Amino acid sequence: MSVRITDLGMMESRMAWMRQGQSRVAAAEQEIATGRRINKPSDNPSESARLMRHDLRLQRVSQFARNNDNAKLWVGTADQALQTGATYLERARTLAVQAGNDTTLGAQEGRAIAADVRSIAQGMMAMANTKISGRAIFAGTADSDGAYDATTLAYAGDDGQVTRALDTDETVVVGYHGPDIFGDANPGDPMNGNVFEMLGALADAIESGDNTQIRAGIEAVDTAMARIGVVQGRVGAASQQLDAAETRQNAEKLNTEEHISKIRDVDIADAVIRLRSAEVSYEATMSATSRALSRSLLDFIR
């Protein structure tokens, strides 16, 4: 059927067209104002699902980067402590060699060297009890004041391993056990015990001028240095792992952010063009409407 055009009908349909035009303009404006193509999940359900997945991953990677920072603090602190320890042992070895070689060493000088070695032992003890915000880093996962008890010279920690997560299934060891660094305690045979017992025994030997024991002590110091060297190697490897992980995390963060931006953010040039075209068609509708509504037979009959 041919449709009769009626005034009310014409007005209603023009108004519907103008409403549509107006809402298209408003939608384009909203995109530009918020900078986002997707403001609600229903704006694009499948893209929103991807958006949420990417967002979760981004948050997790940012967290892994925070874990990485924390791990760096631990590994860096351990590295410094071990370096200090190695220097101490170097010094203890020099003193022991000096005491062993110098046959003219008097009792007083022997006592002085022994005192030096004892203070090195104390330094080692302080280094072994290195803490990060109150927690002893060489004590495993134990809740103890320090890794070693300054009186009994015994290990106060446990053999739990301290690790940090660098990714969904990548971890790095950041806490090293006291016994791995300082050797196992052996109260019955201090020279073959841990570093603290050994340095104590070495000091005793220097004080008493027992050359056999001093020689055994020098060997024990070498063993202790080798032990620290092994752990330093592990720390170095961990440090490299952290650097590699950081590079990867930063790259992934950047990529994920870019993905998210591609899905969610408005291409401004494109959005502005769409706004302009929406505006042009809206204005055209309005102008056509104003002309159509002002025309009537009344204009032509007298």
Partner 1 sequence: MGNFGGLQVAYTGLNAHHKRIDVISENIANVNTEGYHRQRVELRSIDQASVGLFSGRVGAGGGVDYSQVTRLRNQILSTAARDQANNAATRTRQADLLQRIEDIVGGLDPGGLHDKLTALFNSFDDLANAPEDSAIREVVLRQADNVAQAFTRTTAAIDQLRDQEHASLVDTVRAVNALTEQIAADDVALLSAVNSDAQPNSLLDGRDLKVAKLAKLIDADVVELPNGQTSISVDGQLVVSAGKSTPLTVAVENDPALAPLGYDKIKVVGTTGRELRIASGEVGASLDALANGIPEQRRAIDALIADLADQVNTVHRGGQGADGSTGLDLFRVGINTGELTVSTDVNGHPEKLAAARLGAGAFDDGNARALAQLGESTTGPVTVFSNAVGVLAAKVASATSVADAAQVASEQATSLAQSAGGVSLDQELTDLITAQRAYEASARMITAIDEMLQTLIHSTGRVGA
- Which residues in 45-74 contact partner 1 (CB under 8 A)? 45-46, 48-49, 51-53, 55-57, 59-60, 62-64, 66-67, 70
Instruction: Report the alpha-carbon distance of residue 295 to residue 91 in Å, rounded.
Output: 107
Tokens found for residue 99: 């005491």
Using CB atoms within 10 A of its CB, is residue 203 exposed (0-12), middle (13-18) or buried (19+)?
Answer: buried
Q: Taking CB under 8 A as the rule, does residue 133 contact partner 1?
A: yes
Long-range contacts of 113-119 (CB under 8 A, 24+ apart): 113/206, 114/203, 114/204, 114/206, 114/207, 115/203, 116/91, 117/92, 117/199, 117/202, 117/203, 117/206, 118/199, 118/200, 118/203
Smallest gap from Cβ 244 to partner 1, in A, equals 19
Q: Count residues contacting partner 1 (CB under 8 A)? A: 55
- CB nearer to partner 1: pick between 130 and 213: 130
Picking from 123, 137, 147, the residue whose alpha carbon sits closest to that of residue 199 is 123
Q: Taking CB under 8 A as the rule, does residue 16 contact partner 1?
A: yes
Smallest gap from Cβ 169 to partner 1, in A, equals 9
DSSP, res 189: S
Smallest gap from Cβ 59 to partner 1, in A, equals 4
Q: Taking CB under 8 A as the rule, does residue 38 contact partner 1?
A: yes
DSSP, res 40: S
Q: Taking CB under 8 A as the rule, does residue 134 contact partner 1?
A: yes
With contacts defined by CB under 8 A, name the span among 88-96, 154-162, 204-212, 237-245 that binds partner 1.
154-162
Q: Report the residue from 158, 180, 265, 279 that binds partner 1 according to the rule CB under 8 A.
A: 158
Instruction: Report the alpha-carbon distance of residue 44 to residue 57 in Å, rounded.
Output: 20
Binding site for partner 1 (CB under 8 A): 3-9, 11-13, 16, 38-46, 48-49, 51-53, 55-57, 59-60, 62-64, 66-67, 70, 133-135, 140-143, 157-158, 160, 162-165, 168, 296-298, 301
